Amino acid sequence: MAFLAENKYGKSRVRLMKVRRLDDRHDVKEWNVQVLLEGDFERCFTVGDNSKILPTDTIKNTVYSLGRSSTATCMEQFAKELTAHFLEHNPQLTAASVEIEEKKWAHVVVNDKLQPTTFQQSGPESFTTQVTQKRGEGLQIQSGIRGLVILKTARSSFAGYIKDPLTTLKESHDRLFGTEAMAVWTYDRADLPFAALRADILRTLLCSFAKHESLSVQHTLYAMGQAVLEAAGAVKDVQLTMPNRHCLLVDLTPFGQDNPNMIFVPTDEPHGYIEAKVVRQA
């Protein structure tokens, strides 16, 4: 006999560009929003009773309508507003979750002068947040960075690993270290200066990556997570994913040339994949 164990539904990839028209400049936010709802929807699945279903098209329209009236200046605040709205107006819900990815836009600077209404998309990294609330409980807020492409050409090595009959990798004490990192951290409360904290955490990640004397990707990943916890007291854990972006040394001996760590071929497939969660001790 079958029974419905878990379920959720919602709307994904709701694209929203909002322009704030201030007196001296314009600001833009580009958000990609996903809303997921959980609740008393069993009869919809089992017998086709839609009487407790909020249409996903209505969810999409709610994102746009609330975007118009919202005074939120960061995606965490907007996600909190959306979560509260759906729980307040839909008593059949037991939980609501809002996930937002933000593409970064910066004002163009011409002749050292900021152009107040002209923008350039920066990146390739994007910012993320996920705000979840169960009815009657507090908010859980996780924010992060996705697609952070970073590279260092010194202070990186990899040696002392297991060598068996299938090992062909040579030890390196001076290698290029590249990765497309993703970081997700959990805040310990819901009322924080999220934009400023995110900027501080990004600076911390980059500083740690640059300065660390890396003995492996794992070694540097842990150092970066540890640095975030030391720098941001409002963060209780951080999960980092760091797949390799390999740069392989090219053999130039067939051409009668040496290669003193100068010429490489970039490749990202196949790649090593390293992931870990660093948690603040109680």
pLDDT at 22: 94
Q: Is the residue at 3 inside a domain?
A: no
The token duo for 62 is 């709610």
- In this structure, the answer to whether residues 187 and 130 fall within a common structural domain is no
Q: Which single residue is written with the structure tokens 């740069």?
A: 247
Residue 239 sits in a domain whose CATH number is 3.10.270.10
CA gap 210, 145 in Å, rounded:
17
Task: Report yes or no on 33 lying in a domain.
Answer: yes
Helix (H, G, I), strand (E, B) or coil at 177: strand
Structure tokens at 148: 């952070």
Active site residues: 11, 56, 246
**What pLDDT score was predicted for residue 201?**
98
Structure tokens at 175: 């290698």
Q: Do both 190 and 106 map to the same domain?
A: no
What does each of the 282 residues of the chain score in pLDDT, given as a tens digit? 888 888 999 999 999 999 999 999 999 999 999 999 999 999 999 999 999 999 999 999 999 999 999 999 999 999 999 999 999 999 999 999 999 999 999 999 999 999 999 999 988 999 999 999 999 999 999 999 999 999 999 999 999 999 999 999 999 999 999 999 999 999 999 999 999 999 999 999 999 999 999 999 999 999 999 999 999 999 999 999 999 999 999 999 999 999 999 999 999 899 999 999 999 997
Give me the pLDDT at residue 5, please.
86
Q: What HEC string does 54-104 produce?
A: CCHHHHHHHHHHHHHHCCCCCHHHHHHHHHHHHHHHCCCEEEEEEEEEEEC
CA 74 remoteness from chain centre: 15
Q: Give the CA distances from residue 139 to residues 108, 135, 177, in Å, rounded to whole numbers and listed in that order.
A: 36, 10, 37
Residue 27's pLDDT is 96
Question: How would you classify the pairing of strands 177-187 and 235-241?
Answer: antiparallel
Amino acid symbol at 44: C
Asked whether residue 156 falls in the same domain as residue 88, the answer is no
- Same domain? For 258 and 150 the reply is yes
Q: Answer whether residue 141 is part of any domain.
A: no
pLDDT at residue 123, as a whole number: 83
Domain-ending residue, one of 98, 114, 135: 135
Structural domain contains residue 93: yes
Same structural domain for residues 117 and 203? Answer: no
Structure tokens at 60: 């999409």
Residues 54 and 77 in one domain: yes
C-beta separation of 87 from 133 below 8 A = yes
**Same domain, residue pair 151 and 273:** yes
**Residues 244 and 220 reside in one and the same domain:** yes
Count of structural domains, the chain? 2
Do 273 and 150 lie in a common domain?
Answer: yes
Q: Both 130 and 161 in a single domain?
A: no
Question: Is 151 inside a domain boundary?
Answer: yes
Q: 232: closest CA among 198, 207, 206? A: 198
Closest CA to 169 of 181, 152, 157, 155: 157
Answer whether residue 186 is part of any domain.
yes
pLDDT of residue 175: 93
Q: Are residues 197 and 261 in the same domain?
A: yes
| Full domain range(s) for residue 157 | 146-279
Q: Which of 135, 161, 183 delimits the end of a domain?
A: 135
Question: Of 87, 113, 135, which one is at a domain's C-terminal end?
Answer: 135
Q: Is residue 4 situated within a structural domain? A: no
pTM, two decimal places = 0.92
Confidence (pLDDT) at 1: 83
Residue 48 domain flag: yes
Same domain, 174 and 247: yes
